[in-house]
Amino acid sequence: MKTELFIGTVGESVWYSDDLGETVTRIPSAAGFYGESGLYPESRVWALSWHPAQPQAILAGTDSGIYRFDRNARMWQHVPSPMDRTEVWAVAQSPRDPGLILAGTRPASLYRSTDGGRSWQAVPVGFVESCPAIGRPRVTRIVFGKDDPDLVWMGVEIGGAWCSRDAGLSWTQQSEGLVSQDVHDILPVAGDPATLYATTNRGLHVSQDGGAHWQFQQLDAPWQYTRALMQRADGAADVMATNGDGPPGSAGRVFRKKGDGAWTDAALPEPLNSTPWCFATHPADPDLLFAATCHGQIFRSRDGGGSWRKLPRELGEVRTLLWLPA
């Protein structure tokens, strides 16, 4: 199966590979010119989103709003919205309807579209306007429930975990038990609606009652800072989490949990240069996984995370990954 890997970076736009990451290049236009792809070559890209009902379109959250990539035309197009000239850190599409899009920004705000991005409405949530350490909160993650498309989770740094039960129209904070309100990622476990995981700057958490309460989970690591979460795309009870010594950090690990087993080190093959920041998985081949560190190392697994290989090219700062069948 032919694949395409998309790599969102800070300051180097989106990179692309059609050979499983062995070589990467910035996305050129259909005519082959890098400067004519529609997205500024030095863009900061924090989020990539794709929907199986629209396989040729990719949404990107950038430092200048939202862009849409046409995989056939090999072109990016700006999507006008109230988020223009705003940092868009999170983008998600409803599994039931690709036209229902939620986007979160820095400073923290939330916008909702029901017509594929032609129009947008601000959603009142109740974010704080300032916070310690980072100054202005930001929406770090939006994820629709795997088993209930009306259920949506949102992580806010710094602002805790939020839940919507009406596809993003209204929200309640559900942070009881979190040792930190600095939430980086949230993972509703497919096939087990009561179980969720959340990562924070002070550790990994699990909820076994649908997010009503959270419990800290100690990892066997010298640091408890956690960042990204991933479940196998085929819904198997196989979950991964990234861990490191801070943002961006200078070292890190990937942990793996199979079913009811313990969290174990996935043993990436080389010392990591920073905290691992993101994963990529796809149901077309659940065994094909990618992971990237904040400072640009990219790793690939062909056996569902049992073993990993470091890919040759290192980029500057990587924030998001997406792989798709070509």
Extents of the domains making up the chain? 1-43+226-326, 48-217
The region of weakest confidence among 82-96, 104-118, 135-149, 305-319 is: 135-149
Residue pLDDT, tens place only, 245-298: 999 999 999 999 999 899 999 999 999 999 999 999 999 999 999 999 999 999
- pLDDT band, very low/low/confident/very high, at 35 (cuts 50, 70, 90): low
Helix (H, G, I), strand (E, B) or coil at 115: coil
* Cα distance between residue 155 and residue 181, in whole Å: 9
Tell whether the model's pLDDT for residue 41 goes beyond 50.
yes
- Chain centroid to Cα 304, Å, comes to 18
The region of weakest confidence among 23-27, 83-87, 316-320 is: 23-27
pTM of the shown model: 0.95
* Tokens at 91, concatenated: 């983008």
Q: What pLDDT is recorded for position 30?
A: 47
- Chain centroid to Cα 116, Å, comes to 20
Nearest C-alpha neighbor of 315 from the set 5, 4, 3, 11:
11
CB atoms < 10 A from the CB of 29, how many? 15
Element (H, E) at 173: strand 172-173
CB atoms < 10 A from the CB of 283, how many? 11
Q: What pLDDT is recorded for position 36?
A: 59
* Cα distance between residue 144 and residue 251, in whole Å: 31
* Cα distance between residue 75 and residue 89, in whole Å: 21
CB atoms < 10 A from the CB of 27, how many? 21
Whether 36 and 29 have beta carbons less than 8 Å apart is answered as: yes
Helix (H, G, I), strand (E, B) or coil at 227: strand
48-217: CATH superfamily? YVTN repeat-like/Quinoprotein amine dehydrogenase (2.130.10.10)
